[in-house]
Amino acid sequence: MYLKRKIDDFLQEWKADAKHKPLIIKGARQIGKTESILHFAKQNYKNIVYINFALEKKFMQILADGYDVESVTRNITLADPSIQFIPKESIILFDEIQENPDVATTLKSFHRDGNYDVICSGSMLGINYKRIHSNSVGSKTDYEMFSMDFEEFLWAKGYSKEQIDSILSHMLENKPFNENELSIFKELFLTYSVLGGMPDVVKQYLETGTFSGTLDLQNQIRLDYEEDVRKYAGGLNMYDEIKIFEGNRIRSIWNEEKEEWYFSIIDILGILTESENPRKYWSVFKVRLKKEGNELATICSQLKMKASDGKMRQTDVANVQGIFRIIQSVPSPKAEPFKMWLAEVGKERIDEIIDPELTIDRALETYVQKGYSREWINQRLQAIQVRKELTDAWQDHGVEEGKEYAILTNEISKAWSGMTTREYKDFKGLKKQNLRDNMSSTELILNMLAEAATKDITNATNPYGLEENRQAARDGGKIAGNARKEIEEHTGKAVITSQNAIDFGKLISDVTKELPENRIDRSKKK
């Protein structure tokens, strides 16, 4: 059973364009990318070359001789001699390119060659453009696919375009449904809400006519997602995967009160001194510093960290500033290169390595612990990916990371919200906290729309440098700003709220107390 998707029309339009470029389709796993692409390919091409880098490791070396079409196709046929390349009649499908991201570099060559249509696809969590030698700017088209929306669900249920348009017109015109319509459409939407938008779950429901088995399938997909984000987040966590210097790991912990990262002093001294007993070295070192009247001995504190035996033990720690001072005082030949490395990377890079926003595995746990709903978390993770794609586009178009990113972010924010990032944070009563973590679902979606639109406009218009990118940022933000105004016009309420994560957490807590399953559990206890 094939379920019609919105990407179907896009793919047909893409092929019909005489000047179409190689296509990269991104999106989370199990949303139907491969199925839709293969469905399209079978309908439109005599010859299909399908390569899955996750399942077929024999194709991992197809770039060994370079990125040109001749070398790539030759190495593909060497790996599998049954594969044929028929000019003007073949489509090449590179699936799971996150496993071999440099394949994207070949797209420029395929575009110039013009003999083969090419579509790449992969999990959005895994595609890492920073690992790509050259991501073929100007020689590819990007398309972001999502899970099934309500309209696609209605297609799957057999509803016509006219019937679906009728639902939309009622909502846009604020025209009440009759009792029969309301009953049917309400049931359909509730069903969709329970099932979600994963095609396999919807298929299961359609084939059986019941919800039987759908929960098990949803749970399996959730487990697959967790495995996926762990894989592509690089396995980073606070204790084991933070490689600071020469492959050595340094334990760290977040101090909620002071909003600072603290690092194990002993781990750092072990690196600097190569001592067999860095704990003893630090003990002696502290005594000497104290005798000398050096205040360094007082800058450290103690926090519980996981020891080598797996137990949580009190450990001497210091913040980033303290670590720099310790490095300056250690008589070690490694001290200077260590300082130079830290100076190059900076505090921002250290924070970046261990920030939950960038470490998706930690983010999932962190956001759940803070009381966010699963729906909000999903949106937040999507927003992280959108932001990543935007900054990648800026990097490709001559925008310097850091100050210039901040300038353009402010342009986007002003265009859709009417406030700079700092003004927005002040409005919510925030200081160091992440603004996006303190947005409502609607605010988050609109901010995501603004950044996604900016990315698309940037890739379409090819501005270069800060000043040229300013207009793209304003235009992208304006699109979301217009959406905000329409929402406010229809609802009579302001989209932007002064509420922050504390308020959202209280709201979520209050709501969950009265969820049906909680009431059932209480009755069982009785």
DSSP 389-436: HHHHHHHHTTPPTTHHHHHHHHHHHHHHHSS-HHHHHHHTT-SSS-SG
Rounded distance between C-alpha atoms, residue 25 and residue 45, angstroms = 18
The answer to whether 145 and 8 are in contact (CB under 8 A) is: no
Please return the burial class of 299, using the count of CB atoms within 10 Å of its CB with bins 0-12, 13-18 and 19+.
middle
Q: What is the pLDDT of residue 136?
A: 58
pLDDT of residue 369: 59
Tokens of 294: 């050096």
CA distance 526 to 77: 68
In angstroms, the CA 158 to CA 387 distance is: 36
C-alpha 248/C-alpha 270 separation (Å) is 9
> Residue with structure tokens 């077929």?
56
Candidates 405, 388, 390; CA nearest to 476 is 390
Reference 7, options 28, 30, 34; nearest CA is 34
User: Which strands make up the sheet holding 23-27, listed edge to edge?
Assistant: 47-52, 90-95, 117-123, 23-27, 141-144
402, two tokens: 């850091």
Kindly report the number of other CB atoms within 10 A of residue 16's CB atom: 9
β-pairing verdict for 23-27 and 248-249:
unpaired
Cα(252)–Cα(165) distance, rounded to whole angstroms?
54
The gap from C-alpha 309 to its chain's centroid, in whole angstroms, comes to: 34
CA distance linking residue 457 with residue 479, whole number of Å? 11
- Partners of 121 in the beta sheet? 25
Q: How is 294-305 classified by DSSP, letter by letter?
A: -GGGGS-EEEEE
d(CA 152, CA 132): 34
Q: Is 221 within 8 Å of 30 (Cβ atoms)?
A: yes
Q: What length does the chain have?
A: 526
pLDDT score, position 243: 43
φ, ψ of residue 315 to 5 degrees: the values are -135, 140
Contact 84, 50 (CB under 8 A): no
CB 300 within 8 A of CB 318: yes
Q: What phi, psi does 127 have (nearest 5°)?
A: -65, 120
Q: Which helix (H) or strand (E) holds 121?
A: strand 117-123
For residues 257-281, one letter each, b for 16 or more C-beta atoms within 10 angstroms of the residue's C-beta and e for the rest, the string is eeebbbbbbbbbbbbbbeeeebeeb
Architecture of the structural domain at 7-144 = 3-Layer(aba) Sandwich (3.40)
3-state SS class at 450: helix
Angle in degrees, CA 411, 416, 418, rounded to 5: 80
| Angle at 485 (CA atoms; ends 479, 491), nearest 5 degrees | 135
pLDDT (tens place) for every residue of the chain, 526 residues total: 899 999 999 999 999 999 999 999 988 888 999 999 999 999 999 999 999 998 888 999 898 888 899 999 999 999 999 999 999 999 999 998 888 888 888 998 999 999 999 999 987 545 444 444 445 566 788 898 989 999 999 999 999 999 999 888 888 888 888 999 889 988 999 999 888 889 999 999 999 888 888 888 888 887 777 666 555 544 333 333 344 566 667 787 766 556 667 888 888 888 888 777 888 888 888 887 777 776 665 677 887 777 766 677 788 888 777 877 787 777 777 777 776 665 555 444 455 444 444 455 555 555 565 566 666 677 677 788 888 889 989 988 999 888 899 999 999 999 999 999 989 888 888 876 778 878 888 898 999 999 999 999 999 999 999 999 999 999 999 999 999 999 999 999 898 988 775 554 443 333 333 333 333 343 333 3
At position 15, the amino acid (one-letter code) is K
Distances (CA, A) of 65 to 83, 129, 132, 317, 327: 19, 21, 16, 49, 45
Measured distance CA(325)–CA(344) in Å, rounded: 16
Residue 447 to residue 387: CA distance in whole angstroms:
10
Mapped onto helix, strand or coil, the DSSP state of residue 144 is strand
The kind and range of the H/E element at 4 are none
Q: Where are the domains of the chain?
A: 7-144, 150-232, 243-354, 360-512
Alpha carbons within 13 angstroms on the beta-carbon side of residue 17 total 13
